Amino acid sequence: MTGEGENASLLRRVRRAASAGGTAQNHIIRIRGLVNGFGDKIIHDHIDLDVCRGEVLGVVGGSGSGKSVLMRSIIGLIRPKEGDVRVFGEPTCGDIEGSAMRRLEMRWGVLFQEGALFSSQTVAENIQVPLREYTKMSQSLMDEIAEMKLAMVGLPPDAGNKYPSELSGGMKKRAGLARALALDPELLFLDEPTAGLDPISANQFDELINQLQESLGLTVMMVTHDIDTLHAVTDRIAVLVNKKLVLGTIDELRKNQDPWIKDYFSGVRGRAALSAMDLASQEAH
């Protein structure tokens, strides 16, 4: 990536890297030798990954490459065939005690694709689900927190009384994000956060993620197929290709000669995203 858009992205990465550092103590997520598969089919073949405190990592790959499987392995929803997965230095797979896992779960938030809101509950009640599960707060305090989280993600107060069916796609994403932030997590997992959104709503969501990361000091791992989001939000990108993982910045990955990576980052859509970032930056100045 070149031009003003690359400069803005580079400054963002430098600022986050300066606060994160590269030591083992700052590795919020650490994966070694991860093998995932179903039956005889292997999806991930001994992959390694470190995610540093304060960075935004994008995860991309073709259909069937196991992007969401990787995220679910990290948070303990899928048990890997092999490997070691640690978050905040603690294992999330294998024989981990329930109480230890609950303590970990309180330190991260997850926005699943489509928001995954409970249709029979109001937005406020959805936001309060983790509060009820992990704390013993009073109802009045949970109501205050729900209202605060709604404001944090840019939703009006009256959205709390609505049901998911009454929300637009973009509002559902924001409501799901508010629930993910309910316990003030240090680590945020996002699964296809802009999927199904129109370009304007997607851009607004990208800006929201950047604002929240900066103001809350979040570490973010984002599964996405949206190359515009990768340009706008991420510091580094993990590409799942040929059952392996290739890690780098957008600029580094654009030089990679793997056919899939080259086509994704330097193909028509990749060049369009780059041009759009440069144009937006020029207009801002």
Structure confidence at residue 23 (pLDDT)? 52
pLDDT in tens, 170-204: 899 999 999 999 999 999 999 999 998 899 999 99
pLDDT cut 90: percent of the chain above it: 75
273 pLDDT exceeds 90? no
Structure confidence at residue 82 (pLDDT)? 94
Who has greater pLDDT, 174 or 20? 174
Residue ranges of the chain assigned to CATH 3.40.50.300: 1-18+55-80+97-107+187-285
101 pLDDT exceeds 60? yes
CATH superfamily of 1-18+55-80+97-107+187-285: P-loop containing nucleotide triphosphate hydrolases (3.40.50.300)
Least confident of 15-19, 34-38, 135-139: 15-19
For residues 157 and 213, give the distance between their C-alpha atoms in angstroms, rounded to a whole number: 22
98 pLDDT exceeds 90? no
pLDDT in tens, 55-69: 999 999 998 899 999
| 215-236 mean pLDDT | 94
pLDDT in tens, 79-93: 999 999 999 999 998
10 pLDDT exceeds 90? no
C-alpha closest to that of 192 among 270, 117, 114, 260: 114
Structure confidence at residue 97 (pLDDT)? 73
* pTM reported for the whole predicted model: 0.86
Which band of pLDDT confidence, cut at 50, 70 and 90, is reported for residue 100? confident
Amino acid at 237: I
